Amino acid sequence: GGADYRHAGWSFEFDRGEEGDRFKLDETLGAEALLLGRVTYEGFAAAWPSREGEFADKFNTMPKYVVSSTLQEPEWQNSTVLKGDVAEEVAKLKRERDGDIVVHGSPQLVQTLLEHDLVDELRVMLFPVVLGDGKRLFGETSDKKPLRLVDSKVVGDGVAILVYEPATSGMK
């Protein structure tokens, strides 16, 4: 949640530990591009350009795509605005780019990608806390979206890292 959210910064109260930090670093270093919703993009664009280190260097130099109908001229280095039909634009992006395109946060975008079967892998960090309200990662879909757990581990202060792939329709 943003600064106006009553539990703002809640995830920083948990230590992911070395293994959790390594998971996030490996995910970032292995990505070819970022795909973000406008709100997440604006938060990242305000924070990352002034940071240093391996993680920041990758974020700042890699191609970034932001889905927005209102953002006109993104200022963060290597950023492109995707306008129009989100599903069509992302499907086109996936065809044109080699390698992983990673989405951070961006719940509305994630819901759209899930609805249109544009997610190849879903990586979830589940923190040991119930907040009671806030943004939902999973929203309504036109049909069920079965997933298959392909990896899991618990790191740091009990943070579960769960990696899912879309399951074939024939699975139970």
Q: What's the pLDDT tens digit per position in 115-162?
A: 999 999 999 999 999 998 888 888 888 999 999 999 999 999 999 999
Q: How confident is the model at residue 8 (pLDDT cuts 50, 70, 90)?
A: confident
Alpha-carbon distance of 52 to 20, in angstroms, equals 20
Q: Number of H helices and number of E strands within the chain? A: 5, 7
State yes or no: pLDDT of 172 exceeds 50: no
Tally Cβ neighbours within 10 Å of residue 161: 20
With beta carbons less than 8 A apart as the criterion, state whether 166 and 144 touch.
no
Q: What is the pLDDT of residues 54-101, one digit of tens each?
A: 989 999 999 999 999 999 899 999 999 999 999 999 999 999 999 999
- Going from the C-alpha of 91 to that of each of 85, 117, 125, the distances in angstroms are 10, 10, 25
Predicted TM-score (pTM) of the model is 0.89
